[in-house]
């Protein structure tokens, strides 16, 4: 069966510090991968998606970037965090056969102080 | 631009009640609609997915309906239990787009 992992589970970082969040998927090959952010009191917003290694599309302009160095690894990064980057970050995947159904990871709670 | 609204934002009911959560969307050109459950501090669990050609889907005590022309979906929970307490999110996938557009959710509390 397929599983999706995210780490760390929680993170507190000062403004201006770098960020690296990792997401890995097991039990499937060549998945579509997604990064979402859930800010306090707001709905989830898609940040990035990837259809393959090195292929990243951004949905909204922001202070963040994403990379996919391996087939089942998706990384969310920032060189300098802003207060507004605080939120709950969720990684998701979908299969090539059923791209319309996304499965979500446990999330990372990021607090920028 | 698609917008998804969920009403009510919060709901508290006694155990055993049947309840309805509402979701509306502004652009009816959707590919599908999905209902998720989110427990505090946790990821999302998919509950039901309705394709644009379908009217409803059922899973156990859950029933989701879709009226694409009016831009509405409802999630019906029968015989609610304290374990149903969570935030319920509605999300639509527009035709030709990869992104899901989420509502802000309904926070449900079922009192024992």
Overall average pLDDT of the A48-52 stretch: 93
pLDDT for position B16: 97
How many CB atoms within 10 Å of residue B68? Answer: 18
| Model confidence at A42: pLDDT above 80 | no
| Model confidence at B87: pLDDT above 90 | yes
Residue with tokens 């899901």: B100
- Cα–Cα distance for residue pair A6/A74, rounded to 1 Å: 10
| Model confidence at A60: pLDDT above 80 | no
Tokens linked to A93: 């995947």
Decide if A101 and B34 are in contact by the 8 Å CB cutoff: yes
Residue pLDDT, tens place only, A75-87: 999 999 999 999 9
Which of B36, B42, B99 minimises the CB distance to A46? B99
A95 touches chain B (CB under 8 A): no
**Torsion angle of the four alpha carbons A65, A69, A74, A79, in this order, in degrees rounded to the nearest 10:** -30
Residue of B nearest to A102 (CA): B46
**Interface size, chain A vs chain B, as Cβ–Cβ contacts under 8 Å:** 53
Please provide residue A74's backbone torsions phi and psi, each rounded to the nearest 5 degrees.
Answer: -130, 130
Overall average pLDDT of the B1-17 stretch: 94
pLDDT for position B91: 94
- Cα–Cα distance for residue pair B1/A10, rounded to 1 Å: 32
pLDDT for position B25: 96
Mutation choice for A interface testing from B99, B103, B105, B106 by most A CBs within 10 A: B99
Exposed e or buried b per residue across A69-104, where buried means at least 16 C-beta atoms within 10 angstroms of its C-beta? eeebebbbebeebeeebbbbbbbbbbbeeeeeebbb
Q: Which of the pair, A101 or A22, is modelled with greater confidence?
A: A22
Residue pLDDT, tens place only, B22-55: 999 999 989 999 999 999 878 889 999 999 999 9
């Amino acid at each position: 069966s397929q599983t999706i992992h995210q780490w760390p589970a929680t993170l507190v970082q000062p403004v201006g510090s770098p960020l690296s969040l990792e997401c890995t998927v097991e039990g499937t090959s060549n998945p579509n991968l997604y990064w979402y952010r859930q800010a306090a009191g707001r709905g989830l917003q898609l940040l990035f998606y990837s259809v393959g290694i090195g292929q990243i599309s951004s949905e909204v302009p922001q202070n963040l970037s994403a990379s996919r160095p391996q087939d089942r690894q998706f990384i969310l990064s920032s060189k300098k965090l802003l207060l507004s980057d605080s939120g709950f970050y969720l990684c998701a995947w979908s299969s090539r056969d059923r791209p319309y159904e996304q499965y979500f990871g446990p999330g990372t709670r990021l607090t920028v102080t | 631009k698609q917008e998804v609204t969920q009403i009510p934002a919060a709901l508290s009911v006694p155990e055993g009640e049947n309840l309805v959560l509402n979701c509306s969307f502004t652009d009816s050109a959707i590919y599908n609609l999905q209902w998720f459950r989110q427990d505090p501090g946790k990821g999302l669990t998919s509950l039901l997915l309705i394709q644009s050609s379908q009217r409803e889907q059922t899973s156990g005590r859950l029933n989701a309906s879709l009226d694409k022309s009016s831009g509405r979906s409802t999630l019906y929970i029968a015989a609610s239990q304290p374990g149903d307490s969570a935030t319920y999110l509605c999300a639509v996938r527009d035709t030709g787009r990869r992104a899901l557009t989420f509502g802000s959710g309904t926070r449900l509390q079922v009192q024992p």
